[in-house]
A and B are shown apart, each in its own frame.
Chain A
Amino acid sequence: MSPGWFWAVEGLRRAIGLGAFLALAAFILGPLVTLLLWAFAGSWLFPNLLPEFSLKWWAYVLANGDVTKAIRMSVESAPIATLLSALICVPAAYAFARLRFPGRRALLLSFLSANAFPKIGLYVSIATLFYRLNLMDTFAGVVLIQMVNTLLFMIWIPTGTFRGINTNLEEAARDAGAGPLRTFFQITLPIALPGLIVAVLFAFLAAFDEAQGTLIVGTPNHITMPVMMYTLVLSYPQPVGAVFSVLLSLPSLAFLLVAQRYLRAGYLAAGYSL
């Protein structure tokens, strides 16, 4: 049998594989590329394949007082919501992972409930509560509504992470003379760190992207970037929305780059070889 036949089929396989890869890449990256093109487009008229490069829309967006105010609001509220959520949820997740108490499963499932129903109904009822508590149109109200979205990630991911850490590792620390607190901070927490970073990442993105609840609770004076997006898309030229989208994805990008350093370390799994 001639090898040419084999190579032809092999070549065909490769071509199909490459085609599939390119199609997938186009599917995922296509919208992002279009977004980038629009964001840096001056004018984009019919015969031109590419638009002329321009930063004028960036200048336009960044000169808008409402926009900068929304950026500041987002950059301040999302990290605070994430941090508070972590402070509350990580100890709770540890309790879920380690302690056996009545109603543990039901309680753990209840953190899914915020995501189990149409959010808008939840937000409306929260809004009526916030009216009574004078939290409407306040920074605290915005942070609280963002935290609602982070709960799921900050409870479930750390609970799974803590559960994956063998209790022997903690007992060995107690055995060596460390008290419960020292054991948690010097043994459990460092080992759980990769999982906790993932949780913080997801929680931050959930808080940062939150639009519906913030729209109801924060208007008119406490507008975040995603809420601003509605206005920009509806009432400004197309490149403005594109510029703003790029701005909106910058924190996620930065966070991913930072997190990947920790996630690649991989000592979590490595410790379990025996």
Chain B
Amino acid sequence: MSSLSLRGLEKRFGAHAAVHDLSLEVQDGEFMCLLGPSGCGKTTTLRMIGGFETPDGGDIRIDGRAVTALPPERRPTAMVFQRYNLWPHMSVAGNVAFGLRVRRLPKAQIEAKVAEVLALVGLPDAAAKYPHQLSGGQQQRIAVARALVLEPKILLLDEPFSNLDARLRVRMREEVKQLQRAIGITTVFVTHDQEEALTIADRIAVMREGVLEQVDTPQRLYTHPRTTFVADFIGTMNLIPARVERRAGLVTAGPWRLPLPAVTWPDGAAGTLAVRPEDLAIEPAGTAAAAHVRRVINLGHYLQVLVDVRDAGTLRLFVGKEAPPPEGATIGIRVVRGLLFNDGEPVEVEGERPAVVTRGGANTSPATGR
């Protein structure tokens, strides 16, 4: 199969740099997601791989062979667009067979391949239909079939399911993932939906304003984001302004005082403490930092609680349904673990251990000292 290599890719639209110095290696058979908010350059990057945009600088290689100068029809890539994929004047079979006819394959072989790939995408009886007779999901399936029938080295998917309703979208991405595993094709998938990226990708490349922020597995992106942008973009994250107090050996973040990890940052250095909602724990009022419960949102199998904390703003935490705090109540909030961002790599911060409540009601927390 095939690997894809992007080196120092540049693309400008006028004065605006859509993609800047982007380098990315996609391994053989890998499912790579380009993830980022709209306008981050992810689609431009995909279009450069497909040959629809000419890079202003850099190099695109497929299996080590430079394809940067080739037009789309001469690249071993196949693209599925967000919408308007199928040619309305051709039947499904005509759509799928188009590329094979361009390649002048014998008729019998074309028919066999079309039947085979239509069965592969689960629409074996659709050959004679026209695109307008198909649902949105079926149209996208045919578009995938049309891309796969040419046996490309790289499959490119540009938000192919974003125009489908939520349930269908989830089903389609499962199907595509299975299909991709089964045939082992190297795939680049563009999406702005982090949940979609997390569930479907082997690795995710997070982009922001034309620059690659981080390339990692979904698991690593979630647990070890390298920038506050990634931390904020992947999953839900509470960002709390923090400050290093070297002499006291502490990091202060909002009302919390946490042990300073081994870093060389100077005294008084400002940073950001990033805490996942599940890394905030509810404690009895008075035993931890005071928080005002603003809103409790029922998300089905768990609750999302919005609390206001002095000097930390509004924070989110996830709690089970057993003992939800009432709205308007004052509770205690403890930081279990967090990531401290300054310049460069973040460091992990051990949180406070549960408070030891003495009989008199006064509390001592080992983490914050006595």
Seen from chain A, the residues whose Cβ lies within 8 Å of a Cβ on chain B are: 166, 168-169, 171-179, 182, 186-187, 190-191, 193, 267-268, 270-274
Query: For the complex, what is the distance from the CA of A178 to the CA of B50, rounded to whole Å?
Result: 14
User: Which of B73, B83, B130 contacts A267 (CB under 8 A)?
Assistant: B130
Q: A182-B102, A273-B132, A274-B139 are in contact. Are A176 and B88 (CB under 8 A)?
A: no
Q: A176-B98, A178-B98 are in contact. Are A267 and B103 (CB under 8 A)?
A: no
Is A168 a contact of B103 with CB atoms below 8 Å? no
Q: A171-B72, A175-B79, A191-B88 are in contact. Are A271 and B132 (CB under 8 A)?
A: yes
User: Which of A174, A187, A273 contacts B87 (CB under 8 A)?
Assistant: A187
Query: For the complex, what is the distance from the CA of A175 to the CA of B157, rounded to whole Å?
Result: 13
Q: Quick check: is B225 within 8 A (CB to CB) of the other chain?
A: no
Is B130 a contact of A174 with CB atoms below 8 Å? no
Additional A-B contacts beyond A173-B98, A177-B73 (6; CB < 8 A): A168-B84, A172-B146, A178-B102, A193-B89, A272-B84, A273-B136
Give the chain A neighbours of B102 by CB distance below 8 A.
Answer: 176-178, 182
A-B Cβ contacts below 8 A, count: 87
What is the distance, in angstroms, from B93's C-beta to the closest C-beta of chain A?
Answer: 14
Q: Quick check: is B252 within 8 A (CB to CB) of the other chain?
A: no
Give the chain A neighbours of B199 by CB distance below 8 A.
Answer: none
Is B88 a contact of A175 with CB atoms below 8 Å? no
Closest chain A residue to B147 by CB distance? A175
Is A191 a contact of B89 with CB atoms below 8 Å? yes
Q: A267-B88, A270-B88, A271-B88 are in contact. Are A179 and B73 (CB under 8 A)?
A: yes
Q: Quick check: is B368 within 8 A (CB to CB) of the other chain?
A: no
User: Which of A177, A193, A268, A272 contacts B150 (CB under 8 A)?
Assistant: A177
- Which of B51, B71, B98 has the most C-beta atoms of chain A within 10 angstroms of its own C-beta? B98
Give the chain A neighbours of B78 by CB distance below 8 A.
Answer: 175-176
Is A177 a contact of B103 with CB atoms below 8 Å? yes
How many B residues have CB within 8 A of the partner chain? 32
Query: For the complex, what is the distance from the CA of A268 to the CA of B84, rounded to whole Å?
Result: 12
Query: For the complex, what is the distance from the CA of A270 to the CA of B131, rounded to whole Å?
Result: 8
User: Which of A176, A267, A272 contacts B89 (CB under 8 A)?
Assistant: A267
- Which of A174, A176, A177, A182 has the most C-beta atoms of chain B within 10 angstroms of its own C-beta? A176
What is the distance, in angstroms, from A189's C-beta to the closest C-beta of chain B?
Answer: 10
Give the chain A neighbours of B143 by CB distance below 8 A.
Answer: 172
What is the distance, in angstroms, from A203's C-beta to the closest C-beta of chain B?
Answer: 23
User: Which of A169, A171, A176, A272 contacts B99 (CB under 8 A)?
Assistant: A176
Q: A172-B81, A175-B73 are in contact. Are A270 and B132 (CB under 8 A)?
A: yes
Chain A contact surface mostly: helix
Is B85 a contact of A176 with CB atoms below 8 Å? no
Quick one: which of B50-99 are within 8 Å of A by CB? 50-52, 71-73, 77-79, 81-89, 98-99
Give the chain B neighbours of A186 by CB distance below 8 A.
Answer: 98
Give the chain A neighbours of B87 by CB distance below 8 A.
Answer: 169, 172-173, 187, 191, 271
Seen from chain B, the residues whose Cβ lies within 8 Å of a Cβ on chain A are: 50-52, 71-73, 77-79, 81-89, 98-99, 102-103, 130-132, 136, 139, 143, 146-147, 150, 163
Is B150 a contact of A176 with CB atoms below 8 Å? yes
- Which of A190, A191, A271 has the most C-beta atoms of chain B within 10 angstroms of its own C-beta? A271
Closest chain A residue to B156 by CB distance? A175
Closest chain A residue to B150 by CB distance? A176
Closest chain A residue to B52 by CB distance? A171
Q: A175-B73, A274-B136 are in contact. Are A190 and B89 (CB under 8 A)?
A: yes
User: Which of B71, B82, B146 contacts A174 (CB under 8 A)?
Assistant: B71
Give the chain B neighbours of A273 by CB distance below 8 A.
Answer: 132, 136
Query: For the complex, what is the distance from the CA of A106 to the CA of B99, rounded to whole Å?
Result: 39
Query: For the complex, what is the distance from the CA of A191 to the CA of B130, rounded to whole Å?
Result: 13
What is the distance, in angstroms, from B59's C-beta to the closest C-beta of chain A?
Answer: 21
* Nearest 3 CB-CB pairings of A with B: A271-B88, A270-B132, A176-B99
- Which of A177, A182, A187 has the most C-beta atoms of chain B within 10 angstroms of its own C-beta? A177
Give the chain A neighbours of B50 by CB distance below 8 A.
Answer: 171, 175
Closest chain A residue to B82 by CB distance? A168
Sample (29) of A-B pairs whose CB atoms are under 8 Å apart: A166-B83, A168-B82, A168-B83, A168-B84, A168-B85, A169-B84, A171-B72, A172-B79, A172-B87, A173-B87, A175-B50, A175-B77, A176-B73, A176-B78, A176-B146, A176-B150, A177-B99, A177-B102, A177-B150, A179-B71, A191-B89, A267-B130, A270-B88, A270-B131, A272-B88, A273-B132, A274-B83, A274-B84, A274-B136
What is the distance, in angstroms, from B141's C-beta to the closest C-beta of chain A?
Answer: 12
Is A271 a contact of B86 with CB atoms below 8 Å? yes
Give the chain B neighbours of A172 by CB distance below 8 A.
Answer: 79, 81, 85, 87, 143, 146
Give the chain B neighbours of A190 by CB distance below 8 A.
Answer: 89
Closest chain A residue to B132 by CB distance? A270
Query: For the complex, what is the distance from the CA of A272 to the CA of B78, rounded to whole Å?
Result: 21
Is B73 a contact of A178 with CB atoms below 8 Å? yes
Query: For the complex, what is the distance from the CA of A176 to the CA of B51, rounded to whole Å?
Result: 12
